[in-house]
A and B are shown apart, each in its own frame.
Chain A
Amino acid sequence: MSAEAISRRSFAGGIAALALARRASAQGYAGLGETAGGFAKVMPGKAFTFPADHGPHPEFRIEWWYLTANLVDTSGAACGLQWTLFRQAAQPGPQGEGWANQQVWMAHAAVTRADTHRFSETFSRGGVGQAGVTAKPFDAWIDDWEMKGLERTDDRTLAPLTLKASGTDFSYALTLAADRPVVLQGDGGYSRKSERGQASYYYSQPFYRARGTLTIDDKAVDVSGQAWMDREWSSQPLDTDQTGWDWLSLHLSSGDKLMLYRLRQKDAQDYPFGNWISANGGTQMIAGSDIQMMPKATADVAGRKLPVEWQIAIPSRSFSILCKPLNPGAWMATGFSYWEGPISFTGTHDGVGYLELTGY
C-alpha cells in the first residue's frame, strides 16, 4: 500500500507519484527508503546559513516547504489550511538545463473547516520556470501558487511572507508575520529518522501570525491565527522498514510550540521523536523513551481506519493531552494520499495544531 500512501514530509512521495521512484512499495514509502546513491548525504554538524538555506538544495534528492495554519474566521469558527511545495530530483549529478533539468516539483494545498475539506494538487518540471524557489528575495512558487517574501523580509525570521493558492472550489491569500528567528529541529538542524543513521536537515518557523482571506465556493471570509512552516531536505530520510508516520505540530496556548512524530516500523518498534520550543524560541529535544503516543479513536476515511484522536503524554514535562480533529474527513486524496488536518487539544495543556498520518 505504501506506493499510494505518501507521507508528508517524505513526500517527495507525491512526486514519486510521478513514478520517479519505481520500487516504492518494496522500499519504504514512495521510494523514500531508496539508497542515496549519487546524492549528497545528510551529515551531523552542518552550519545553517540564511537566506541560502531557505532556497533549494538540488544536490539532495528530496526537499519541501511545508506550511500549516490554524485559523479562526470572523464568526469565531476554526479552520485550517495547508500549503506544501515538494521538490524531488529524478537523478543525481549536475543540474540539467531547461527541460533536461531533473527536478520535479509537486504542490498540495488544502483548506479544512469542521464541515468541509477541500484540496488541490499540481505538478511541474524544473528548469523552465513553472516552479522553483529562490532564497533571496525569497520566493517559492508553482503555477499561480506562491509563498513570497517582501523587500523587508528578514532572512532570520523568514517573515513577512505572502501566501496564496487556489483549487476549483477554494482559494486563500494570507500574509505571514513573525518576530522570532527560525528554529533548528533535532540536533542543531540534524534530524535522525532511525537508529541506523537515516536523517534529514530540518528547521521550522512555528511562530508565524497569519491573517488573510479564505474563499470556499466563492464565499470569502477574513481569517487570522497562527502558522507553522517546516523546511526539510534529505536524500534518504526513511529506513526501508519504516512504513509511515504520525506527525503533530502543536501551538500551546502558553505560546510554547511542540513538534512530535512517530515513525512506524515493520517490527512495530516505533521511532518517536519530539522537540519542545519555548515561547522565546529556545528548543529542547525530547527523548523517544519519554514520549507516549496512543491512538484513542479511529475514523473510517477513504476505506481506511485512521487514528485521528490521540492521547499524548510526556511524563517528564507533566504533559498529558487529548487531541481531537476539527474534521475527521481531512483526507488528501491526491496522487499520493494521506490524512492531514487541524486538531485541537485539551488536558494539562490546551491549544491547536496539525496532525499528519501517512502510510495507512
Chain B
Amino acid sequence: MRRALWILAVLLSHWRRHKMQFATLLVGLIAATALWSGVQAINQQARSAYDRAAATFGGVRTAMLVAPNAATFPQELFIKLRRAGWPVSPVLEGRVQINGRSLRLLGIEPVTLPADVGNAPRLGAADLSSFVAPPGQTLVARETLADLQEPEGAAPAISNGAELPPLRVQPQLAPDVLVVDIGVAQRLLSKPDQVSRLLIGKPRGKPIPLASVVGDQLQLVAPNAETELERLTDSFHLNLTAFGLLSFFVGLFIVNSAVGLAFEQRLPMLRTLRACGASARLVNTVLVVELVALALVAGLIGLACGYFIAAALLPDVAASLRGLYGARIPGQLTLHPEWWLAGIGISVAGALVAAATSLIKAIRMPVLATAQPRAWQQRQRRWLVLQSCAACAVFAVALLLLHYGQSLIAGFGVLAALMLGAALFLPAFLDIILLAGQRVARGPLALWFWADSRQQLSGLSLALMALLLALAVNVGVSTMVDTFSRTFIGWLNGRLAADVYISASDNAQGVAIRNWLKDRSDVQAILSGGRAEAQIQGQSVELLGLPDHALYRERWPLLETTPRAWTRLVPGNAAFISEQLSRRLNVRLGDVVEVPAPGGTWELDIVGIYADYGNPKGQLTVNVAALIRQFPQTPQTRIGLIVARENSPGLIAALQKRFGLDDRSVADQATVRAESIRIFNRTFAVTSALNAFTLGVAGIALLTSLLTLANSRLPQLAPLWAIGITRPRLAAIELTKTLSVALFTALLAVPLGLLVAWCLIAIVNVKAFGWRLPFHVFPLQLIELVAVALLASLLAALLPVARLARMQPANLIKVFANER
C-alpha cells in the first residue's frame, strides 16, 4: 500500500510540473460531463412534465371510450356500460376562463376512477369526502395556483359567473388543469348529465361486447404508450441529445490528447519506476486509480457545471416547448439521484475510454523500452486507406437510410452517418490536398512544409475531426435557423391579417363586443372567426373558421392552391388543410376529407394547402359561417378588427375599459407579432448556445493536440534549426501549417454543413414538425464561420508556436544528445 502511494505521488508530481496539461485534462473531462449532463437534465425535466400531463386522469395512457364525433355523450351510457360489467369511469372535460385566463377543467368520478390511471394523483382516502361532498374541492398544481394569484382555499369565479369549489394543491397535477368532481364539472360547464369520455379500468370478469351495449355510440381508443406530446417533442429532445453527445465526444478528444501527451512525457518516469522494482501490475493499477480519481473530481465539477448549464437553458427550452408544442415544463430544475450517478459514471467511463490506448501501451511496455516518437511512417498509408474505406461504408449507410428510412430516427441516422463518414474521410482528404501541394512545391523548405504537414496528420486528425464536426454542425444549424427565421417572419406577416385581436370570454360577451364595435367609425371591418375541434382518424384536428374577406384573399399565405380557392370556401363544402395535417393524413389538393360533425359527416374538398408553423395540431380552414352551421357549439368569441394603425391604441383602451378585457384578451397586431417572434427566437436560443459550446470545445481539443504534437515533434524540427533556419522562422512555418490544415478542414466543413442543413430541413423538420421550408444559403454567414474556425485554430496554435519561438537553443541541441 505504501509503495502504491509512493508511486501515486511520483505520478502526480508530473502534473505539478505541467499545470497547463493538467488543466486541459480536467477541462476536457469537465466539458464532456457538463454538456452531456446538462442536456440530460433538461430532457429528464421535460419527460417528467410530459408524464405528469399524460397521467392527468385519462391522458392517452389509459384505454377509453369516446363518442365518434368527439362530442360529449349522455351519462346514461356510463350506467349502461357499468351494468354490463364494463369497469368504466366518466370524465367530463371543458375549458373555463378565470380572469381571462383559459384553463382545462376536468370533472372526474373518484369512486370508480381506475386505480391504475397512469400515476394520476391519488386522492387519499381522507380527502375523498371533502372532494365529493359540497362544497367540494378544485385540485390544482402549485404553478396554477401561482398563475391565478389565488391562495389555497379561495373559490374564484369563472367567466359565466359560477364559483369554483375551493382550490386545493395537488402537487402531481399538470399545470393549467383544474380537477373537480364530475357533478361540479357538469354544473360549471352547463352540461348536465353529459360525459366527454369513459376511462376503462381493469376488467372484472368478461364484459358484454361494446356494440351490444351502446351500439355505435361509443368507440374504443386503445392506450398509447407514447403520448402525442412525446411524439411531437421527440425531435426537439433528439436534437438536444445529439448536441450533448457531440460535445461529449469532442470533450473526450481533449481527454484523449491530454492523456496521450502525459503518457509520452511520463514514459521515462514509468521506466525508472519499473527499474526501481515496482511491478508492472502495481504501476498500471496506480495509473488507473489516478485516472479514475481525476475523473471523479472532474465529473463532480462537470455535474455542477451541467446543473448550471441546464438551469440557464431551461427557461428557453421551456419557452420553446410551450411555443412549439403547447407543452408546459416547470421552470424550476429538479434532479433525481440517478442523474448524479449517471453523470459521474459517464465521466469515469469516458476517461477510461479516452485513455484506453495510452493505458494499453503502458501495460504492454517492456521494462527497458525507450520512448519513441509516434509511429506513423509506413503505417500511415495503410491506415488512411482503411479509414477511407470505412468512410465509404458509412456514406453508403447514409444513402440507404435516406432512401429507405421513414422515421425521425432515420433522419438523424442520415445526419450522424454523414458526419461520421465525413470525419473518417477527413484525413484522406487532407492527405490528398497536401500531396497535391507537395507535387507542385518547389524548393526544399516548401517540400518539407508539405511533407511534414502530411506526417503530422495522424497526430492531428482526431482534433481536426472534432473541428470538422463542430463546424459542420454550426453551418448546418445556422443555415436551418436562418432559413426558418426568414420563412417564418414572411409567413407571420401574411398570417396576421387583422390589426386588433379580441378574445371574448363567452358568446354573450362576443355579441356585446360586436354590437358595440358596429357603431364605431374607427373600425373598418369586423372579422369574426371561430375554432372547433374534431377527431379525424384518431387524431384531434382543429377547425379554423375564417370570414370571407378580401384581406384574407390578398394576404393569407397558401403553399398550394386551386383556382378560385377562397371563393370555393364560401359555400362550406371546401377547406384548406395545413401542411402538417396533409402529410399526416396523406391528403393532396382535390382529395376529400371527412370530418365527423355533430350533425353527421361533413365532407370537405381540399382546395388549398397552407403552412401552419408552430401549431402542434393539424388544422383545417373553412368558412366560419359553414363551421357554425356544422358545429353549432363553436364559441363565437374570436374577433379580428381592421383599424387604421393610429386608431388601434385608443380602440384597445376603450375595449378594455368597456368590457374589462385584459392584455391577453385584446392585443394589437404588433404585440401578437412581437410575441410570436420572441417565442420563435427562444426556440433556437438553446441550439445556438450548444452550438457555441461545441465550437469552443473543438477549439480546446485542437489546442491540446497541438501541445501534444509540439513536444514529440522536436526531433523533426531540431535538424532544421541546426541547418540554419531561425526559431522565429520555424515558428512561422509551424503556424502556417496549422492554419492551412485548419483552412482545408473548414472548407470541407462548408459543403458538409450545407448537407447537414439540407438534412435538417428536408428530412428532420418534415418528420418532426410536418413542414418543409424552402432552402436558403447565406454566404456571408459561411465566410464568417470559416473565419471563426481559423481564428480558433490560430488561438490554439499560438501557445505551442510561441514556445517554439522562444525555446532555449540548448533544448534543441539536447535532441541530438538525448535518445529522442
Contact = CB atoms under 8 A, between A and B. Distances in A.
A100 B85 contact: no
Interface in B173-206: 181-184, 186, 192-193, 202-206
A168 interface: yes
Nearest to A3: B125
Interface in A104-126: 104, 120, 122-125
A98 B78 CA distance: 13
Interface stretch (B126-134, B317-325, B668-676, B721-729): B126-134
Interface stretch (A18-26, A76-84, A235-243): A18-26
Interface string A114-157: 00000010111100111000000000010110000000000000
A104 B110 CA distance: 11
Question: Interface residues of B: mostly helix, strand, loop or mixed?
Answer: loop
A18 B79 contact: no
A171 interface: yes
A129 B133 CA distance: 18
B132 A90 contact: yes
Nearest to B85: A144
A340 to B, nearest CB: 19
B716 to A, nearest CB: 80
Contacts of B84: 144
B789 to A, nearest CB: 66
Interface in B634-691: none
B601 interface: no
A125 B109 contact: yes
A266 to B, nearest CB: 24
A99 B183 contact: yes
Contacts of B125: 17-19
A149 to B, nearest CB: 17
A341 B124 CA distance: 30
A18 B111 contact: yes
B112 interface: yes
Contact of B83 (A17, A120, A123, A141): A141
Contacts of A22: 126, 129
B82 interface: yes
Interface string B51-89: 000000000000000000000000100110011110100
Given A99-B181, A99-B183, A168 B203 contact: yes
A7 interface: no
A125 B78 CA distance: 13
Contacts of A130: 78-79, 82-83, 112
Contact of A124 (B82, B129, B206): B82
Contact of A90 (B112, B126, B129, B184): B129
B128 A143 contact: no
A168 B129 contact: no
Interface residues of A, number: 27
A98 B192 CA distance: 10
A191 interface: no
A120 B202 CA distance: 12
Contacts of B75: 128
Given A143-B82, A144-B85, A167-B204, A98 B193 contact: yes
Q: For A22, A128, A171, which residue has the most chain B Cβ atoms within 10 angstroms?
A: A128
B82 A168 contact: no
Interface string A1-44: 00000000000000001111010000000000000000000000
Given A100-B183, A166-B204, A91 B133 contact: yes
Contact of B134 (A19, A100, A124): A100
Contact of B133 (A102, A122, A124, A141): A102
A164 to B, nearest CB: 10
Contact of B85 (A90, A125, A166): A166
B79 A129 contact: yes
B128 A18 contact: yes
Contact of B183 (A98, A122, A166): A98
Q: For A17, A99, A104, A141, which residue has the most chain B Cβ atoms within 10 angstroms?
A: A99
Contacts of A20: 128-129
Nearest to B134: A100
A91 B136 CA distance: 13
A78 to B, nearest CB: 24
B112 A19 contact: no
A229 to B, nearest CB: 22
A48 B404 CA distance: 80
Given A18-B111, A125-B111, A167 B129 contact: no
Given A18-B128, A122-B204, A125-B111, A90 B83 contact: no
Contacts of A18: 111, 125, 128-129
Q: For A17, A22, A120, A143, which residue has the most chain B Cβ atoms within 10 angstroms?
A: A143
Interface string A60-94: 00000000000000000000000000000011000
Contacts of A129: 79
A71 to B, nearest CB: 20
Given A19-B129, A167-B204, 18 more contacts: A19-B124, A19-B128, A20-B129, A90-B132, A90-B133, A91-B133, A99-B184, A104-B111, A124-B82, A124-B112, A128-B75, A129-B79, A130-B82, A141-B83, A143-B85, A144-B205, A166-B85, A166-B206
9 contacts: A19-B125, A19-B127, A20-B129, A98-B186, A102-B133, A123-B112, A144-B207, A168-B203, A168-B204
Interface of A: 17-20, 22, 90-91, 98-100, 102, 104, 120, 122-125, 128-130, 141, 143-144, 166-168, 171
Across the A-B interface, the 8 shortest Cβ-Cβ residue pairs: A99-B183, A166-B205, A19-B125, A144-B85, A129-B79, A19-B128, A123-B111, A143-B82
Interface of B: 75, 78-79, 82-85, 87, 109, 111-112, 124-129, 132-134, 181-184, 186, 192-193, 202-207
